[in-house]
Amino acid sequence: MTSAALHHLVLDSRCESAASGPDSGFQSDPWHPLLRRLPAAAPGEKASVVLRSTPCNAPHAELPRALDGAVQPCTFFHETVRAWVRPVDVLLAEGASRIRVAADGSVVDAHLPPDAIGTRNLAVMQHIAMMIAVRAHGLFHFHAGAIRDPELGGMAFVGPSGAGKTSLTLAFMMARHGVAYLGDDSVLLAEQAGQPALLSYPGAFHVAERSLPLARGFQPTGETHSLGKHVLDPAGIFPGRALSMVPRVDVVLCPEVVAARETSAERLSAAEALGELLIGSALVMVAGIGQQIEHLALLRALAERVRAYRVQLGEDLLTEPRAAVDRIVETLRRDGVT
């Protein structure tokens, strides 16, 4: 059994048929690639979420079907993973793999063919299952990068894949003294002391080829992300500068890569900011998903308290990152963000 801590939660991974090994059908713990990024849980701590794995060579569960026998349309999908939201659980399916997530987030029940272990498709499926489970415990996935700047405070970088979140994270880390990071692409939103806060969801940085100059002098791990990005270990690049939480977010930057020489920023309204925050919070818009009201309330509170900006990333972010960051910071200073 593997036990890991995700902030206040204890995640226990258990293989149900036998101990991992030849007799169980699994050569290793199916959840190890995800849990290895997290610190070990304290001995004797009660599990908040049990990740239960059982080997199977054929689909364990039939997909939901209509009265005419046809498979019901899924509630949502991501890449090759399909999902059906039901009153008692969420069923995920990818190939012969099936994962059920209990509505209360207490159990994630995975029936997996052994040859799926370690594949990209299963990793995506497990990530979705985890993010659905922790919703019931007050942790909400947020597709964003986040840092804390000594002058500007907590900052979130929000946008879809390829928008420039990692590039902006690296640029601020390299250009600004004393900046610490929470993550470059994936963090957690939670309520802390009655206010929205961002918590870490530890993982590697995924850097596009064009953005590697921002991490000059540091070698990729050799792994390649599914989108063709290079995998970098942030602890190796920025030792001692990792955060577990940003208790207050003061600024939201919404980057987009444009064909311009210089980087620029323009203020967004609270309504526009909320729209951007929703784009980074896809699960909140899934019909029937749990904790929608709580999640929306946190996003609204965040949109109302921050100063948000659309940042158009020009060529200077890669060629003169310090100058590009200075342009952004000067815009924030003119608006009184200090």
pLDDT digits (tens, 9 = 90+) for 232-273: 999 988 999 999 999 999 999 999 999 999 999 999 999 999
Average pLDDT over every residue of 44-59: 89
Domains of the chain: 2-137 (no CATH), 141-334 (3.40.50)
Average pLDDT over every residue of 19-38: 77
Q: How far apart are CA 163 and CA 159, in angstroms?
A: 6
Q: Which two tokens stand for residue 300?
A: 């609204």
The end-to-end CA distance of the chain, in Å, is: 47
Q: What's the mean per-residue pLDDT of the chain?
A: 91
Q: Which two tokens stand for residue 15?
A: 């293989």
pLDDT computed for residue 66 by the predictor: 74
Q: Confidence class of residue 61 from pLDDT cuts 50, 70 and 90?
A: low
pLDDT computed for residue 18 by the predictor: 44
Question: Among 38-47, 61-70, 204-213, 306-315, which stretch is predicted with the lowest mean pLDDT?
Answer: 61-70
Is the pLDDT score of 220 beyond 90?
A: no
pLDDT digits (tens, 9 = 90+) for 142-170: 999 999 999 999 999 999 988 999 999 99
Average pLDDT over every residue of 287-300: 97
Is the pLDDT score of 191 beyond 90?
A: yes
Is the pLDDT score of 309 beyond 90?
A: yes
Is the pLDDT score of 23 beyond 70?
A: no
* Whole-prediction pTM: 0.93
178 by Cβ neighbours in 10 Å (0-12 / 13-18 / 19+) ranks as: exposed
Average pLDDT over every residue of 102-119: 94
* Sheet strand arrangement including 195-200: 140-142, 187-192, 195-200, 245-246
pLDDT computed for residue 221 by the predictor: 56
Q: Which residues pair with 76 in a beta bridge?
A: 83
